[in-house]
Structure 1
Amino acid sequence: MSPNPQRLLSGLSQHADTLTQRLQTLHQHLLDTVPAVDRIACALYDAQEDTLKTFINSTRAGRAISGYEYKLSDSQALSALARSGEFRVLDDIAQMVQSNTGHAQWLREQGYRSSFTVPLYDGGQLQGFVFFDSLQTGAFSPEVQRDLVLYSNLIGMAIASEFAAVRSVLEATRVARELAEVRDFETGAHLERMARYSRVIALAVALHFGLNDEFVESVYLFSSLHDIGKIGIPDKVLLKPGKLDAAERVVMEGHVDKGVQIIDRIVGTGAHQRLPDSTVLRNIVHCHHEYLDGSGYPRGLRGDAVPVEARIVTVADIFDALTALRPYKQVWTPQAALGELDRMVAAGQLDPACVRAVHEHLPEILAIRERYNDEPA
């Protein structure tokens, strides 16, 4: 029985669900026609870093791989697929995959015997790969491959649609920032560092908090919008070189609520949302100045009431604010900045797991800081 494209596309476009949930629904449909597919997974390609990163999966048997990254250029086979647009069938993984990469070892540990890999493109650019795996040897006949290419196209369309919505939101906020001529805190380098610091922290704490790769990617995409509300703050307050007085502090703190209002205008609410799931975005914008001890603003949230995504972005933001070059302050050394983060953990303000992630991944953090610095080339 051939798959019904209209039924599948309808299932993949349910905006109430995450991409992971929609992929799981599609997997259930797929099992009606190809019951041997035990896993479907999609890896995204980051062209800037030449890196493949795990994203969404539906896994019926075995342990899902997550938080895994791999340089595309380090894989001759996948690089060739990316260039050619062709598919790859491995009828006997144990015999055909001899490498010792983390992914290859994981495949063998799970007992997968055969696989089918399809590259995904969006606007002619490599988007990533879809992997189909089976516990059976030789599960992917030419007839099965034909059906799975259709499924791959639907998966690619769903991801491209979601990311197009994300890009439109990011572009709208970029234009808003430029129209407001907000420059001091919103350098391109700062936004890039914020996103990549936040992703490092999110990956490090994912297991601790039970987060999946789709959540990590959402934090990465939306962390740069945390201070979008500052476009509504008057320059005399926003650009003041010295300490703010009490009245000015109230005005400055208003950027959080202004940010939520801006996001709601751009993203929409209810049935008119432009993003299928904008909860992570709203939480980052609304809660990135909340502290676990209730001393933050605007709502004085405490403990578990502060969303994990906001805790992650708060730590990334403070580290960058301390270590970045600014005309109105000295640059803190990374070690001094870590000391300040530790002090705030001891005071009950910051999440210890998020700060520990900065300690444990400091070389990666510093590499990001070096690559995306504020100084002119």
Structure 2
Amino acid sequence: MEDPLYLNDPYQALGQKMHFMQRLERLYRVLREQYEGVQRFALVLYNPEDGLLSTFVYESDDTSPLLGYSVRLDDVPSLQALADKPALRVVNDMRCFRHKSLSVHTAALLSQGYRASLTMPVFHDGALLGFLFLNSLQRHYFSEQKIAYCNLWAHLVGQLLVREHDAVARMQALVKFATDVSGRRSVETDAHVRRMAAYARMIARALQKKLQLSDAFIEYLALFAPLHDIGKIAIPDSILHKAGPLTADEFERMKSHVKVGRDIVDQALEHFALGDMEHTEMLRNIVQYHHEKLNGSGYLGAEGDDVPLEARIIAVADILDALLNRRSYKEAWPQDKVFAELQQMAAHNELDQACVDAVLKHPQQVDDIQRRYPS
């Protein structure tokens, strides 16, 4: 009888507590230890609302040539085909694309010397979440053995992405559940939170190069933006939907929603097993500080550098949407008046000037978002 073998399990560490990005980094290290020639790993996310694919995660020895890159899925026929008819696509000599009209991303990869690629669409409950890419500098790198291993590895990564996606969805569902069971009116309209996410992404993309923001930072910002007012589930409808100005007491009650929201987030992360969700501190900051002003005149009195970047972005996005659209206490403002108000608030050191500039320089994008998600 042979003695049992005790072998090193490189995947064992995944059973330890760690965040999503840490798990991906660990998985990529394991893959590189097995196949050193896989020199690039990337994930892109798909947004069905605007049809865009956006860069999300990138691991490589080199800097990403596609930082902040977005493209419509229907503008990339090869990926659209994979979305329509899921399959594992292997291209062992990417120079074959030179005979066709090169997309921006293919041209960028070829310019960095990549010659072989493996692509897999990621689905969840039949809906496309995005695509996973592996690349090598070597032509004909992906042999049958490597393809079999990378296929299983890619599906493992895909399941981690699904898990992370579900964690954010559970947090959003918690808000809806709490609102429904209390018999309350919706805290925010669906159109408002969708516009908020779109404005936040637009602002962050404009700041990305200057502030060296990661693609993951921007995508999580957009995912968390709809949760900014989660604390309003504790505010009475008589205050939330009041047609006229709030009294001093009502305003104090309204201001409490940021602290209540922070408490809700903390409890949800603890009791709903969401603690290993990525960028949880960003979520806390958005909920707690999105009504702060840089001059200290906001709800909690935080000022200057004490107001995190993510909260500054959400503050501008929230005010932009509130002014552009009708509320119970006001009519919608025209865009030029809204832009003038934002600039004045930045001049008074209430809003971040760079965030406001990101809005003022993109009036067409603001219009497009308004039309995409009408009130």
Return the letter of the residue paired with 1:231. Answer: I
Counterpart of 1:106 in structure 2 is 108
Shift of 1:207: 2.1
Counterpart of 1:302 in structure 2 is 303
Alignment counterpart, residue 157 of structure 1, candidates 159, 162, 172? 159
Secondary structure of the structure 2 residue equivalent to 1:31: helix
Determine the C-alpha separation between the residues in 2 that align with 1:145 and 1:55. Answer: 23
> Deviation string for 1:113-166 (max 9, x for gaps)?
111111112222222111111111121111111111111011101111111111
Counterpart of 1:330 in structure 2 is 331
Counterpart of 1:77 in structure 2 is 78
Determine the C-alpha separation between the residues in 1 that align with 2:303 and 2:24. Answer: 35
Alignment counterpart, residue 11 of structure 2, candidates 8, 17, 29? 8
Determine the C-alpha separation between the residues in 1 that align with 2:43 and 2:280. Answer: 21
Deviates more, 1:267-276 or 1:152-161: 267-276
Secondary structure of the structure 1 residue equivalent to 2:242: coil
Identity %: 39
Q: TM-score, normalised by structure 2?
A: 0.91
- CA 1:372/1:113 → structure 2, altered by over 3 Å: closer, same or farther? same
RMSD, aligned α-carbons: 2.2
CA contact under 8 A between 1:112 and 1:136: conserved in structure 2? yes
Secondary structure of the structure 2 residue equivalent to 1:70: strand
- CA 1:352/1:278 → structure 2, altered by over 3 Å: closer, same or farther? same
Shift of 1:337: 0.7
Determine the C-alpha separation between the residues in 2 that align with 1:114 and 1:5. Answer: 30
Alignment of 1:181-260 (within 5 A): 181-183=183-185, 186-260=188-262
Q: TM-score, normalised by structure 1?
A: 0.91
- CA 1:161/1:303 → structure 2, altered by over 3 Å: closer, same or farther? same
Alignment counterpart, residue 284 of structure 1, candidates 262, 286, 290? 286
Counterpart of 2:93 in structure 1 is 92
Return the letter of the residue paired with 1:157. Answer: Q
- CA 1:126/1:235 → structure 2, altered by over 3 Å: closer, same or farther? closer
Question: Structure 1: any 5+ residue segments left out of the alignment?
Answer: none
Alignment counterpart, residue 115 of structure 1, candidates 114, 117, 136? 117
- CA 1:272/1:124 → structure 2, altered by over 3 Å: closer, same or farther? closer
Shift of 1:179: 3.4
Secondary structure of the structure 2 residue equivalent to 1:67: coil
Secondary structure of the structure 1 residue equivalent to 2:11: helix
Shift of 1:95: 3.1
Shift of 1:6: 6.2
> Deviation string for 1:228-261 (max 9, x for gaps)?
1112112333233222232222111111111112
Secondary structure of the structure 2 residue equivalent to 1:268: helix
> Deviation string for 1:193-245 (max 9, x for gaps)?
11111111122212222221111111111111111111211233323322223
CA contact under 8 A between 1:63 and 1:110: conserved in structure 2? no
Shift of 1:5: 11
- CA 1:350/1:101 → structure 2, altered by over 3 Å: closer, same or farther? same
Shift of 1:96: 2.5
Shift of 1:178: 3.0
Deviates more, 1:32-41 or 1:202-211: 202-211
- CA 1:66/1:339 → structure 2, altered by over 3 Å: closer, same or farther? same
CA contact under 8 A between 1:16 and 1:276: conserved in structure 2? no
Shift of 1:14: 5.0
- CA 1:14/1:284 → structure 2, altered by over 3 Å: closer, same or farther? farther
Counterpart of 1:267 in structure 2 is 269
- CA 1:270/1:83 → structure 2, altered by over 3 Å: closer, same or farther? closer
Return the letter of the residue paired with 1:297. Answer: Y
Determine the C-alpha separation between the residues in 1 that align with 2:190 and 2:172. Answer: 13
Counterpart of 2:3 in structure 1 is none
Determine the C-alpha separation between the residues in 1 that align with 2:206 and 2:43. Answer: 20
Q: How many pairs align?
A: 368
- Runs of 4+ residues over 6 Å off in structure 1: 269-272
Alignment of 1:41-56 (within 5 A): 41-56=42-57
Return the letter of the residue paired with 2:244. Answer: G
Counterpart of 1:321 in structure 2 is 322
Determine the C-alpha separation between the residues in 2 that align with 1:131 and 1:41. Answer: 5
